[in-house]
Chain A
Amino acid sequence: MSIATALTLRRGRGRLHWTDLASYAYLLLGVVLMFGPVLWLGLSSFKTQAGLLEFPPSLLPTSQKEISVPGYDKPLPLFTVTLEDGSTKVLAQARRIGLQAQMIDPAEPTKVIRVALDKRVPLRETAFAWSNYTEPLRQFDFLRYLGNSVFVTVVATLITLLINSMAAYALSIYEFPGRNFAMLGIIGTLMIPITIILVPVYLVITWLGLVNNLWAVILPGAATPTGVFLLRQYMLTLPRDLIEAARMDKASEWQIYARIVLPLSLPALAVLAIFSVMWRWNEFLWPLAVLSKSESYTLQIGLNAFQGELQTQWNYLLAMTVITLLPIAVVFVFLQRFIVAGIANTGVK
């Protein structure tokens, strides 16, 4: 037995072989490496500004415990203090003078104990700074970016589904002169990503008067060769008798498309819808080129602008990153099967 066993064996032979252990070790390492960073982002996003500056960082978001003591306006921070006799006690710090702190016992607030700074350790508790999530909503245009992203994603996906399914319908149900030519043209556009026609598409958008308009983000990617291809492959498998029967029944071609073919193609439409939502929500280069006013930013562009501007405000940046990630995470958790099947069948992303 060698490492190659690990490469070829498909069925376990009862007992656990060392290659099984190696596989699990590899996979567990993968879990740490793939999941760890996202988990770390999530935990960090709940830390306060001060908590984020700590080095080395603590695992959980923490903050110093505080207590209200009569006679003091503000709550006082709590410390664990090592006293001269070697015992430890939890005391509140009233003020700091040089290398000494004036501490008081919350139980008897009148007695002041002087303690050297190095004899006290902050008393911490796990605390989630929800304000990281609520503050950016009030302070910045975050809500607007979120709205823009939702608008772009929803409208673009609807348009994509409509026009691509119409084209796929024409290319799968009908025989007509020029069909292969049209098919070739559409598949050919697969080879032309936006990266190589950035400037002229910008010109077309300028012609249409849509610079800094969300429609500038929606329109160029609405017709996708991937979408047409995916839907056409599915529609080719639909039974023709249904369509013939409907035609006998004096259904118009539009009705056949809208009432018969489209409802039957729902599984393929669902896959395309998932893809489209992902594409649109995550799109970066093109919006970056065409949106230069902050009120038309999408989340991704807003987030990128933020990380340039607010170098120090990591607490807000991390929270906004989490919010940007959440919709996709939800899509993934609920629709993973469809996505995986869609990619495995079509080889597109």
Chain B
Amino acid sequence: MAVDTPHAATGRPMDRPDIWGVVVRLTDGPMRALQRMLGERRMPYVFLLPNLAFFTLFVFVPLGLNLWYSLTGGSALFPSQRPYVGLSQYGFLFDCDSMLDASTCREDHFWRGVHNTLFFVAIQVTLMVLFSLVTALVLNRPIRGRGFFRAVYFFPVLLSPVVVALIWKWILQRDGVLNAAVTMLGGHKIIFFVDPGWAMFWAIFVSIWAHMGFYTLILLAGLQAIPKDLYEAAQMDHASPWRTFQRVTLPLLWPNMIVVIVLALIRGVQTFDEVFVLTGGGPGTATLMVVQYIYETAFANQSQNFGLAAAASVVLGVVLFVLTLLQLGFSRRKAGA
């Protein structure tokens, strides 16, 4: 393979025997012809084209189609074969005597999903933000081996949800190591995943375990960006540590806190994989989340109820949209202040 000579004008060669060099040499002819044909001013559109084509095909078109699906019925996949049914999918989803009680709804699985997800998000986000904050504060102190400890909290973020769920499933199984500890302490074996309360507890616990490192990292970056002289000034003024935390740390960390809270909310609402592999949504529907409902309604059940799944995902999309607006609103206010 050819070794490139340094480019005369730039002096910035890719000075390895590289495949990329060959690719560029082969593609430059056609691209040059294209440039001659379109003119230099239109070249940025050429560079944008592949990306926008992907976005169009896999995001923008589906976004429109999703609405159409939610307004049509039947089990056909192709939109042209689906009869228009108006808002009846939404009507079906929202047909409840009381939205607070899933068993009074016609589509009770959806509402159980909604309730479970809301409960899950409320607890999970609160605890995760709290633990992330404490961990970030501890990691921000002058401790030995900070890099190591940071890595320890962070690494589960990179694990796949399936791996995370299987790790914990193995620990929590009937004859697992946790039950060994329980019996050693004189208790009885607990079969965690047949008890609705325990199943939800572990779903929340495992998802915090898997994700808190990410939020810790963002908060830690925020803490490290706070100028040290502010703390020195506070100390000169004999401000109590608690007051310093309230008046210096918290206000300056607030933008990061908002990012963390909203991101956690947005991700929490979409919770699926870990919980799905860990509990399968069970026992019964005790840990069934909205996304699992959507997935199963569209793909897993025999019914292939694409319309209903699309309607549910439009509802989820609206929730996500509102959360994003919330974030934008907060950051706008911050910019205005």
- Chain A residues in the interface with B (C-beta under 8 A): 1-2, 4-12, 19-20, 23-24, 26-27, 30-31, 33-35, 37-38, 40-41, 44, 53-57, 162-164, 166-167, 169-171, 173-174, 176, 179, 182, 185-186, 189, 191-193, 195-204, 206, 219-223, 228, 242, 245-246, 248-249, 251-255, 257-260, 263-264, 278, 281-282, 284-285, 288-289, 300, 303-304, 307, 314, 317-318, 321, 324-325, 328-329, 331-332, 336, 339-340, 343-344, 347, 349
Contacts and interface: CB of A to CB of B under 8 A. Distances in A.
Contacts of B244: 4, 8
B119 interface: no
7 contacts: A40-B171, A197-B62, A198-B313, A223-B52, A246-B10, A264-B12, A304-B277
B261 interface: no
Given A40-B171, A260-B12, 10 more contacts: A7-B245, A8-B248, A10-B228, A54-B175, A185-B60, A193-B270, A195-B294, A199-B306, A202-B298, A321-B167
B333 interface: no
Contact of B69 (A1, A4, A200): A200
Interface of B: 7-10, 12, 14, 20, 23-24, 27-28, 31-32, 35, 40-41, 43-48, 50-52, 54-55, 57-66, 69, 77-79, 134-135, 137-143, 149-163, 166-171, 175-177, 179-180, 183-184, 209, 213-214, 217-218, 220-221, 228, 231, 234, 240-242, 244-245, 248-249, 259, 263, 270, 272-273, 277, 291, 294-295, 298-299, 306, 309-310, 313-314, 316-317, 320-321, 324
A251 B31 CA distance: 11
Residue among B61, B65, B241 with most chain A CB within 10 A = B241
B24 A258 contact: yes
Contacts of B31: 252-254
B263 A347 contact: yes
Contacts of A164: 51
A208 B238 CA distance: 69
A282 B166 CA distance: 14
Given A199-B313, A324-B160, A328-B158, A34 B137 contact: no
Per CB-CB distance, the 9 closest pairs between chain A and chain B, nearest first, are A200-B62, A4-B242, A223-B54, A282-B160, A254-B31, A200-B65, A167-B51, A56-B180, A170-B47
Residue among B9, B169, B228, B316 with most chain A CB within 10 A = B9
Contact of A197 (B28, B63, B154, B248): B63
Contacts of A220: 58
B10 A30 contact: no
A345 to B, nearest CB: 8
A59 to B, nearest CB: 9
B121 to A, nearest CB: 14
B272 A195 contact: yes
A170 to B, nearest CB: 4
Contacts of B214: 343, 349
A203 B69 CA distance: 11
A163 B54 contact: yes
A234 to B, nearest CB: 16
Given A8-B241, A285-B273, A343-B214, A203 B317 contact: no
Contacts of B14: 259, 263
Contacts of B171: 37, 40
A46 B163 CA distance: 17
Contacts of B43: 170, 174, 253
Contacts of B8: 249
A152 to B, nearest CB: 13
B142 A12 contact: yes
Contacts of A202: 77, 298-299
B24 A170 contact: no
B140 A195 contact: no
A339 B291 CA distance: 28
A219 B54 contact: yes
B137 A206 contact: no
Contact of B47 (A166, A191, A252, A324): A166
Contact of A176 (B45, B50, B137): B45
A167 B184 contact: no
